[in-house]
Structure 1
Amino acid sequence: MRIPGTLRELQRFFLPAACLGCDAWIPTGLREERVCGPCRARLRPLPSPRCDRCDVPLGTGRSRAASCEECRPWPDALTLARSAVVLAPPADRLVHALKYEGWRHVASLMAERMARIRLPRRFSPGVAAVVAVPTTRARRRRRGYNQARVLAEALPDRRGDVASGVLVRVSGGDSQVSLHPSQRRTNVRSAFAIGENAGALLRGRPVLLVDDVLTTGATAGAAARTVEAAGANGVAALTFARALPYRIRPHRIP
C-alpha cells in the first residue's frame, strides 16, 4: 500500500523541508536528498587503524591487523567488508529514514559515500556481480522496496543492472537488534538460498554484497556462504554504515 509514501512525497513538496538528520530547515539546493550541509559534514569515515579484513577500527594503541576478534568468527567465504561511515548520528537517522520511513531519495547521498571506498579491483562494480542483500517478502511488501537494492542501484560507478533473483531470503529469523553476535549468526544461518538459474551468473565470478549496515557480519557471512556454495569466486560486503563494538564507539574515539 503506497499511501504513506505518497503522503511523504506531498509533504516534501508542500511543507518546509526539514533535514532527515537533525530536523533543521534545508536550503532549496539540498532538498532532493533532505540532508543539510552540517549533517553531511558529520558523516564520519571509520577512523584508523582498521582491520584489513573487516574494516573495524582497532582503537588507540593498536596497529593495523590482517584480522581481528570481530571478524575471526566469519566464514572464509566472506573475504572482506568495507563501510563508508560510522553508524552514529546523523548516519543512524539516515539509515532509519531509508529503511523505515520511505525516504528513498536519501539513498543517492548514502551511495555516493559508499562509492568513495577503494575496493580491490576484482570486487569493484563492473567486474564483480553486484548483489543486494535481500530482505523478506513481508518486509519488502511493508516498506515497498528493499533498501539494500535501492542503495546498490544508486551506486554511481555501477555498470549495468544489479543482479536480480540471485540471492533469496527464505527465512526472516527474529529481529537482530538485541541479539548477541553468536545469536545473530545462529539466527541467519539458513536465511538465504540461491535463486533459479543464478549459478551461471555466479560461477567463477567475484561477488559484491551491498547492504545498509554491517553490525557483526552475521548476515553478510550467511549470504557470502550461500553465494560461494553456488560457485562465486570470493565475496566482499559493502555497506553505508558500520555499527562499532562498544569499546570503540564514537564517545571513545579521540
Structure 2
Amino acid sequence: MSKVVLITGGSSGIGKSIGEYLTEKGFVVYGTSRNPEKFSSFKTFKLIPLDVTDVVSINNAVATIVAQEGKLDVLINNAGVGITGPIEETPSEEIHKAFKTNLYGPIDVMKTVLPVMRNQKSGLIINVTSIAGYMGLPYRGIYSATKGAFELVTEALRMETKDFGIKITNVAPGDFATNIASGRYHAPVLENSPYKKPYGFSLEMMNEHVSDGGDPKEMAKAVLEIINTPNPRIHYKVGAFLQKFSVALKRILPDKVYEKMLLNHYKL
C-alpha cells in the first residue's frame, strides 16, 4: 500500500516541491493551505484546509485524512513564516505571530498526529526547520529563535516517543528559490532609525540569497531519502556547502570568532 503523507504548507515553495516529487514516486499526498479555494487549478495532489494556528482546523484536517485513507504514515511539518527586522523595532504582535506559526502551531500538529501514529505503532514526522535556526542571525533573530526552538523540541520528542514505533527528525534547509521573501513580515526600514543603514543593506542581501537559492527539488529528494531510511538521524541539513559548513564552524570556533565571521559576512 502507498504511504499516506501530510504536508503542512503544501500550496507553494518547498512544501509544493516535496508534494509533487512524492506524488511522482507513488505516495498519497495531502498538502494543506489556510485557503485552498485560492488554488482551484491545483491538481498535482490533494489540497485540504489547515491553519496551524487553529487547533480545530488541525483536528479536522487529520480526521479527514484518516477517515479517507485509514492511516497517516508521514507528517512533514513544513508550514512557516519569515520575519526580519531589528528586534528592538519589530512589533511584539508580529513576534508572537511568528512563534505561533513556526513553533506552537507545528507542535499542535504533532500533538494531533501522535495518537494516530501511536495507534498504528508506526509513523514518521519530519520537521522542516532552517539552517538559520543554528545561529542568531542579525535582523533575522526572531526567525532564528523560532526555528532553533523547533529543533530542540524535536530532539526532546524523539526521546519521549521512542517506544511507540514513531520516528522524528529535523531537516534544515538553507536558501532556496521560493516565494518566502514575498510572504515574510519585514519590519519597515525607518527613516530616523539607528538601524536604517545596516538593516536596509541586510534586507537586500537576504532577498538576494533567496532569489539566488537552490532548486527546492533538492529538499524533496532529501525528504524522500529520509522516508526511505529505517532509522533517520536527528538532524539533516540541505543547502549550499557554505551554509551547511557554517553550522560545523559554529561548533568548533570560539564564540567571538564566529560572531566576527558573521559580522564580516553581513558587512556590519
State the TM-score, normalized to the length of structure 1.
0.30
State the TM-score, normalized to the length of structure 2.
0.29
Give the structure with the larger helix fraction: 2
